[in-house]
């Protein structure tokens, strides 16, 4: 995949979160959302370009053009519209894409640019004051689809363990879990009996279909949840998967967690393979 990291700031951390949550909305899967995005971590004022509270977000897409399209739409409609917000590049590379360079036109000719330490920023007048936006942001190669499955006695057992896993994963820089709450309730497989569907329910892991299909589930398993991880590199995904799996394993069979598995898809989903035993070593 292709990715970019953005730093969103605001007058308070609450409003930085407002901007980040709006930008990352409807961004769970490229299957239908156009991109995958999530909050990476909070940033203290001494970690942001303007000395205000901030949030780092990472946005992933399948191509440079799709990434650019999604970033400009989301920054323009979700960040610039958030009161007191500003937007900066969180990644710099040889491959840069327009950010404020394109959004500046909202200023209707009243926008001005400033160059600081070799970087150009656009000051766009808006009704709350001004929207400050860095001219460009870096595009970097990235990886999507690192995953593991949690096979549990009930949905409540699985959800409790997965919530702890997501908390552990959030401590890993460069990795995010883009589905709602970081957890996938409707894990899918590639393809479908319906030609117009690129993905469909993974029936081998659906507990209500035991006895009707070739199931991967034993009798005691009543619920399966998936955690999908996108990362800026293999190291970030491996560390995130390891942290998440270890957090789930703290529960064990006595607390309703029976097995850890993963979506393999015949090894055809991409060139990167994350083998669970190797990760845990």
Using one digit for the tens of pLDDT, what is the confidence trace for 255-265?
A: 999 999 998 87
Pairing status of strand 129-134 against strand 86-89: parallel
Using one digit for the tens of pLDDT, what is the confidence trace for 24-57?
A: 999 999 999 999 999 999 999 999 999 999 999 9
CA 202/CA 192 separation, integer angstroms: 10
- Within this chain, domains 2-140 and 143-280 share the same CATH topology: yes
Using one digit for the tens of pLDDT, what is the confidence trace for 68-95?
A: 999 999 999 999 999 999 999 999 999 9
Q: List the end-to-end C-alpha distance of the chain, in Å, as a whole number.
A: 27
Using one digit for the tens of pLDDT, what is the confidence trace for 126-155?
A: 999 999 999 999 999 999 989 999 999 999
Q: What angle do CA 108, 112, 116 make, to 5 degrees?
A: 150
- Residue 281 pLDDT > 90: no
Q: What is the number of other CB atoms lying within 10 angstroms of the CB of residue 249? A: 14
Which pLDDT band, with edges at 50, 70 and 90, does 269 fall under?
confident
Phi, psi of 9 (to 5 degrees): -125, 165
- pLDDT on residue 271: 85
Where are the chain's structural domains? 2-140, 143-280
Q: What is 143-280's CATH topology?
A: Alpha-Beta Plaits (3.30.70)
β-bridge partners, 201: 188
Using one digit for the tens of pLDDT, what is the confidence trace for 182-201?
A: 999 999 998 999 999 999 99
CA 127/CA 16 separation, integer angstroms: 18
- pLDDT on residue 263: 86
Q: What is 2-140's CATH topology?
A: Alpha-Beta Plaits (3.30.70)
CA 127/CA 278 separation, integer angstroms: 54
pTM of the model: 0.94
């Amino acid at each position: 995949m292709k990715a970019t990291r953005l730093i969103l700031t605001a007058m308070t951390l609450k409003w930085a979160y407002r901007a980040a949550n709006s930008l990352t909305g409807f961004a769970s899967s490229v299957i239908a959302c156009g991109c995958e995005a999530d909050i990476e971590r909070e940033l203290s004022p001494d970690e942001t370009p303007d000395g205000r509270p901030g949030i780092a977000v990472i946005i992933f897409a399948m191509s440079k053009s799709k990434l650019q399209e999604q970033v400009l739409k989301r920054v323009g409609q979700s960040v610039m519209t958030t009161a007191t917000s500003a937007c900066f590049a969180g990644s710099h590379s040889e491959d840069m894409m327009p950010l404020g360079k394109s959004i500046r036109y909202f200023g209707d000719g009243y926008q001005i640019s400033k160059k600081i330490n070799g970087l150009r920023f656009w000051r766009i007048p808006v009704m709350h004051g001004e929207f400050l936006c860095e001219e460009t942001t870096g595009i970097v190669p990235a990886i999507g689809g690192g995953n593991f499955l949690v096979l549990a006695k009930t949905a409540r057992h699985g959800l409790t363990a997965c919530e702890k896993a997501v908390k552990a994963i959030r401590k890993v820089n460069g990795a995010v879990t883009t589905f709602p709450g970081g957890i996938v309730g409707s894990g899918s497989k590639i393809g479908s009996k319906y030609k117009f569907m690129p993905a469909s329910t993974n029936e081998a892991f659906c507990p209500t279909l035991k006895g009707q299909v070739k199931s991967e589930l034993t009798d005691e398993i009543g619920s399966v949840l998936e955690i999908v991880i996108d990362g800026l590199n293999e190291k970030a995904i491996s560390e995130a998967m390891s942290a998440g799996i270890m957090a789930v394993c703290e529960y064990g069979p006595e607390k309703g967690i029976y097995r850890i598995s993963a979506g393999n898809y015949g090894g055809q989903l991409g060139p990167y393979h994350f083998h669970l035993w190797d990760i845990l070593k």
